[in-house]
Amino acid sequence: MNFDLTDDQRAIIDSARAFAQKELAPHAAEWDAASHFPVDVIRRAGELGFCSLYSPVEQGGMGLSRLDATLVFEELSAACTSTTAYITIHNMATWMATTFGSEAVKAEWGPALVTGEKLASYCLTEPNAGSDAASLKTRAVRDGDDYVLSGSKAFISGAGATDALVLMARTGGDGPKGITCFLVPADASGVGYGRNEEKMGWKTQPTRLVTLDNVRIPARYRIGAEGEGFRIAMKGLDGGRLNIATCSVGTAQAALERAAAYLNERRQFGKALAEFQALQFRLADMATELVAARQMVRLAAWKLDNGDPEATTYCAMAKRFATDAGFAVCNEALQLHGGYGYIREYPLERHVRDTRVHQILEGTNEIMRLIVARRLLADAEAASRIR
């Protein structure tokens, strides 16, 4: 096994780090305090290809591997977790539209989505269908050359400030086989938005309820065939789980570096905090957990890139471990700062707030455990293949 990064991958990291330090880090605290959605900066990220990292090259995307994408997202999230998390969501929605969309979707929407000129929200979750996504109720009925959609979606990132909704709706009977994917123009007649939710973290992106009241869209805006929506959603979630896990790793890396610097700077009882062995041990454990999380994410990304039959299981394990470890590292870094960690002059409290939701979205970590356990128990050979 070779764990070294290639020269191309190091160049990707350097590019992402330069953008993050110039465009994200200086403004992250201000954006958080004002609940500001930095659309202009996201579009500048799109100019570098960061809004379509793994979308197909033939559609204008970068065509990078999921592993390469984790390298970009880690650097960006170290500077601003919340904004990066939205960029990962846009990447997923754009990948769906440009990979599975009709020729009309690709032609009419693809060029603007891959560059970030137009932004997308991903609409799967409903008020009564969170972890049980296959039970969603939003319905799309065929009417001639159109579909008419009615229902609602909950906790939608970017909603009310984006241009397109990549949305799952029921066209058939109950269960996953009755679900179809659509691209809905965000300003279509009958689309409504609730209030911007007041959240604990992720304040640089709006989160709203989306309602659809007899929204009529052309049939050419369907993504994939009827009944393929759930399969597309699950393919998206594998990558989405890696993306969120990576955001936890990047944020935890920033927290670890700040904690190490603080221990060297801060003096108590006549010596630097870095000289206390108990604090050295805590820092060592933080670094160890972070490296383990990073390697698990990269392994899962490699499995997904190479079409491994157990990729979904690896993505679930990586999401569970990395988001738990990332939050723990951020929380510990705050503790090492003492009272200073709790005030907004330092970014630790923001890191803790922003990483906490990663244990909930893209499938809660309890659901991740179910996915892994059920796969291990599926047959006599399953457990031996996951190693």
Q: With a cut of 80, say whether residue 1 has pLDDT above it.
A: no
The two most distant CA atoms of the chain are separated, in Å, by 80
Q: With a cut of 90, say whether residue 133 has pLDDT above it.
A: no
Q: Which amino acid is at 292?
A: A
**pLDDT confidence of 8, banded at 50, 70, 90?**
very high
Q: Give the count of beta carbons closer than 10 Å to the beta carbon of residue 128.
A: 11
3-state secondary structure of 204: coil
Does the CA dihedral 337-342-344-345 come out positive or negative? negative
Read off the pLDDT of each residue in 171-191 and give the average, rounded to a whole number: 96
Q: With a cut of 90, say whether residue 335 has pLDDT above it.
A: yes
Please give the share of the chain, as a percent, with pLDDT higher than 70. Answer: 100
Identify the pLDDT of residue 333: 98
Please give the share of the chain, as a percent, with pLDDT higher than 90. Answer: 93
CATH architecture of 230-385: Up-down Bundle (1.20)
Q: With a cut of 80, say whether residue 382 has pLDDT above it.
A: no
186-202 per-position pLDDT tens digit = 999 999 999 999 999 99
CA atoms of 43 and 387, how far apart (whole Å): 40
CATH number of 120-226: 2.40.110.10
346-379 per-position pLDDT tens digit = 999 999 999 999 999 999 999 999 999 999 998 8
The pTM of the full predicted model, rounded to 2 decimals, is: 0.96
Identify the pLDDT of residue 383: 79
Domain ranges across the chain: 7-115, 120-226, 230-385
How wide is the angle at C-alpha 16 spanned by C-alphas 10 and 18, nearest 5°?
100
Residues labelled catalytic: 362
CATH number of 7-115: 1.10.540.10
- 7-115 and 120-226: identical CATH topology: no
